[in-house]
Amino acid sequence: MHKSAYFLPNFILLIVIAALHWISSLFGFYESTEWFDIMMHFLGGAWVSGTALWLAAVYLPDSRLYLVTVRNLVLCAIVVGIAWELFELVMGWTSFAMENYWGDTVLDLVMDVIGGWTMARILKKIF
């Protein structure tokens, strides 16, 4: 396996995420389409997990790649997902006072985990 083999799927996914976000910004899908944010968290978790795998493959010596487990990749998605939720709070995009704040936040984190797990399993199986 060539170490950069993980790059292309992650780059394509990043382009898809950026395009979907841009389209949503134009048409207001985050506000009008309930499932759009859920899908974006899934894709974001997948991208984080895949990017962590790519970075590990590039920067870790081959003798240490055994450390890159699906569990560790999902942990990366969890950490970035929590950081994103805190970022949303700091930016004022959400607040504790909002109706269903906790339910939405938990669902976002669950989707980050599912996306991260899915991408980790796919990439580790393919490559």
pLDDT digits (tens, 9 = 90+) for 8-36: 999 999 999 999 999 999 999 998 998 99
pLDDT digits (tens, 9 = 90+) for 56-109: 988 988 888 888 899 999 999 999 999 999 999 999 999 999 999 999 999 999
pTM of the model: 0.91
C-alpha distances (whole Å) from 4 to each of 11, 22, 37, 54, 113 are 11, 28, 30, 7, 24
What one-letter code names the amino acid at 41?
A: H
